[in-house]
Structure 1
Amino acid sequence: MTVTPVIAGVGRTAFSRRSGRTVLELATEAALGAIADAAIAVDDIDAIATYHDNDTASPSEVASDLGTGPLTWSQSVVGGGSELCALIGTAADVVADGRASHVLIYRAMNGASGIRMGDYGTGSAAGYRQFMAPYGYATPVEVAAMAAARHMAQYGTTREHLGAIAVTMRENAQRNPAAVMNGRPMTMDDYLACRPIAEPLHLLDCCLETDGAVAIVITSATDATARPAVEIRSWAYGAGPHSVVPYEKYPDLTTMFPIWLREQLFERAGVGPADIDVACLYDAFTYTVLSQIEDFGFCDKGLAGEFVGSGAIATGGSLPVNPNGGLLSEGYIHGLNNVAEAVAQLRGSAADRQVPDAHLALVSGYSFSRGSALILGSAA
């Protein structure tokens, strides 16, 4: 019998700058929400997985706190956003293969009040970093800034193009009561006036630092009995040469990970870029949205600035991007909140931010030159 893996439940905590709670408490709350949303019992969970940067509670701790039964599969991946969609895809395969029936995936973090990913000096100085850190090239924003500068020089991309992304995400957040930046609108003038972080990227080009948690439950379509389930149509993981970080050996700083995985991603789902109704792109920085739009094939290389400036990524545009406000304006839960948004859109439950007739969603996660992506579809 063919098993169709689906996302059957979603749970989340409030997002804030200071939760005042442990990551275990956050993980458990989100997990219980996802289990309830899937209309299953805690005892039904037989597999748990997470990805992290040594800043969260382990699957065994969460299982103990929830009071699950024995687990047939568990995964704890140390890695950034590049692991997001790959972990969900792997869990889908686990369900399809019959190794587990109900997989809980969560991401819990105190990203503002606890361990801050963007802190300078928190990473290892070993390996390639020893040659980069002395020159101030050591954190994600500096990597993205170098790529953005190259794109600007090569294709004429402007700060206003990047600003169109930031302003659109903030506008989207005004229709999302759960967004950290709800109630805090932003204009292009606000964007252009904000302080620099790593030229050409400024403060409002960077995602939020957030405390909170999101969880999802993956099961089979036949076991999904509650709210409309969302099918996991395809997933792919890809990395190019010298993919640890884009430094002097990287072949083209204006490209990102989608060029290594897009063919298999779309082919496995039997669709193309034009078929995608909503894109939940990992927007750690404005520039990386622009690059992904090109590298997934939504527009020709070098034309994404014009594309985003035209309003195409707005909720009513040809490619709505992150109707929740994304990592830039909803919150940064390492990308899992964008998966939750894709599920809401495909369920038709996104209220004022709902994209009309949303049946296919693309979700991405990355660590610049390596990353993963999902294509999700409504079961109807």
Structure 2
Amino acid sequence: MSRKAVIAGIGQTEFSKKSGRSEQQLAAECVTAACVDAGFDPRQIDGMITFALDHSDEVDVMRSTGAQEVKYSVRLPQGGAASVTTVVHARNAVESGMCDAVVIWRAMNERSQYRFGQPSQTIDPDAHSSTFMEWCFPFGAQTPAAWEVLSCGTYLDTFGVTTEDLGRIAVILRQNAATNPLAQFYGRPITLDDHQQSRWIVKPWLRLLDCCQESDGGVALLVTTEERARDLRQKPVKVLGAEYAFCFNHEIISDFYEGDLTRLANSEAVTRRLTASAGIAPRDTDVAMIYDNFTPQILRQLEGFGYCGRGEAKEYVADGHLALDGKTPLSPNGGLLGEAYIHGMNNITEGVRQLRGTASNQIAGASTAFLASGVAGAILGV
């Protein structure tokens, strides 16, 4: 049990539309901040994990932080789905004995350096691990929003979801962001009417306020052993369980070919294994940090991770369960729609803050938190 994985440090830069510095600088800042938060000597980092899409080089991160020897390094595909997947890899590396201290980071200038949500002009064979882009581009589906509508449209049609149903999710997340000083939308809540009046991005489902932000910033985590964390600065947050499932024919942001598009088979598989390994089901945790690149993803993941039955998610939201005082407080930081979009990593740091008791919108008595990014789930505890 002394090798049980814990998150001992978290670090992040400010979130903005223009950072004014390189992504490499953002990576160095957030990794350093995570080590300072933990009271950990960065020279002892021996594992590194980031996204396949991250532009920061491991060698330069080592130079910037002072890490001396890395035993394990991995870059993960699948875009934002990699966020919680990084925790799965870090947990495995630490608990297997391969590493003693793994740093995870994601650094992006996705607004000032490139517009992350805009159409791509070319297909980068190294950017994604599947072929869906080649099939989508000739028909004009060139943006994440377009892929999301193709992916979620069957679910939304089948269960009679309306744009008002989606708007309720956006309102909750923006309300949470409005009282979080770290959020880009701090002090800027919205109403359902604001959502309904926002311009269309992809008809008939996604309006502007259904879409996550384009943000500049960096986020990092330090994962180590429970034994090592006893000598560090912060109360360790335990990784009670972390699971990953990659099902046949699933693709990154699109699961056009997966079969039944009214359900998330990946999430259902993760839920079964995670409940067994962590000893607690996602629906029984105190806080839900669910990946919200677009509002329909919340509905589909609520069902996939067992919070409610198939087709029941819109009523689950309408009944107030996702409010800060509800049974399933959703992303008290404002999530990716309200706080920032650092590919889901800032939802993980919020989960840690909730269990430390230091969050801006603190959920009273929170002792467990669920982290979700579709193909991966983790349960944290204290």
**1:87 counterpart residue number:** 86
| Partner SS state of residue 158, structure 2 | helix
**1:143 counterpart residue number:** 147
Where does the alignment leave 5 or more consecutive residues of structure 2 unmatched?
126-130
Query: Which of these residues, 218, 238, 250, is aligned with residue 258 of structure 2?
Result: 250
- How far the C-alpha of 1:318 sits from its partner, in A, is 0.7
Determine the C-alpha separation between the residues in 2 that align with 1:204 and 1:283.
Answer: 12
Is 2:380 aligned against 1:376? yes
* Structural mapping, 1:325-364, within 5 Å: 325-351=334-360, 353-364=361-372
Q: Is the 8 A contact 2:271 2:282 kept in 1?
A: no
* Structural mapping, 1:117-132, within 5 Å: 117-122=116-121, 124=123, 127-132=131-136
| Partner SS state of residue 373, structure 2 | strand
String of CA shifts for 1:100-150, please: whole Å, max 9, x gaps: 211111110101112333221256287443332222223321122234432
Query: Identity percentage over the alignment?
Result: 36
Determine the C-alpha separation between the residues in 2 that align with 1:303 and 1:107.
Answer: 34
- How far the C-alpha of 1:360 sits from its partner, in A, is 1.3
- Give the aligned residue type for 2:23: V
Determine the C-alpha separation between the residues in 1 that align with 2:157 and 2:166.
Answer: 14
**1:13 counterpart residue number:** 13
- How far the C-alpha of 1:67 sits from its partner, in A, is 1.7
Q: Is the 8 A contact 1:147 1:254 kept in 2?
A: no
String of CA shifts for 1:331-380, please: whole Å, max 9, x gaps: 000111000000001111113x01112111111124xxxx21111111xx
> Structure 1's 289 and 274: CA in aligned 2 closer, same or farther, altered over 3 A?
closer
| Partner SS state of residue 168, structure 1 | helix
Determine the C-alpha separation between the residues in 2 that align with 1:342 and 1:317.
Answer: 17
**1:167 counterpart residue number:** 171
| Partner SS state of residue 239, structure 1 | coil
Is 2:197 aligned against 1:193? yes
- How far the C-alpha of 1:241 sits from its partner, in A, is 2.6
- Give the aligned residue type for 1:115: Y
Determine the C-alpha separation between the residues in 2 that align with 1:16 and 1:170.
Answer: 16
Q: More displaced, 7-16 or 42-51?
A: 42-51
- How far the C-alpha of 1:260 sits from its partner, in A, is 3.0
String of CA shifts for 1:232-280, please: whole Å, max 9, x gaps: 1111111223212646533122222312321111111111234211110
- Give the aligned residue type for 2:135: F
Q: Is the 8 A contact 1:35 1:41 kept in 2?
A: yes
Where does the alignment leave 5 or more consecutive residues of structure 1 unmatched?
none
Q: More displaced, 265-274 or 25-34?
A: 265-274
Q: More displaced, 333-342 or 355-364?
A: 355-364
Is 2:305 aligned against 1:290? no
Query: Which of these residues, 211, 220, 233, is aligned with residue 215 of structure 1?
Result: 220
Q: Is the 8 A contact 1:52 1:107 kept in 2?
A: no
- Give the aligned residue type for 2:210: D
Q: So what's the TM-score if we normalise by structure 2?
A: 0.93
**2:158 counterpart residue number:** 154
C-alpha RMSD of matched pairs (Å)? 1.7
- How far the C-alpha of 1:167 sits from its partner, in A, is 0.3
Determine the C-alpha separation between the residues in 2 that align with 1:89 and 1:21.
Answer: 30
- How far the C-alpha of 1:78 sits from its partner, in A, is 4.1
**2:37 counterpart residue number:** 37
String of CA shifts for 1:175-217, please: whole Å, max 9, x gaps: 2101001122211110000011112111110000000000110
> Structure 1's 147 and 46: CA in aligned 2 closer, same or farther, altered over 3 A?
closer
**2:28 counterpart residue number:** 28
Determine the C-alpha separation between the residues in 2 that align with 1:130 and 1:216.
Answer: 34
String of CA shifts for 1:64-122, please: whole Å, max 9, x gaps: 11122122222233441222222222112211122221111111010111233322125
**2:278 counterpart residue number:** 269
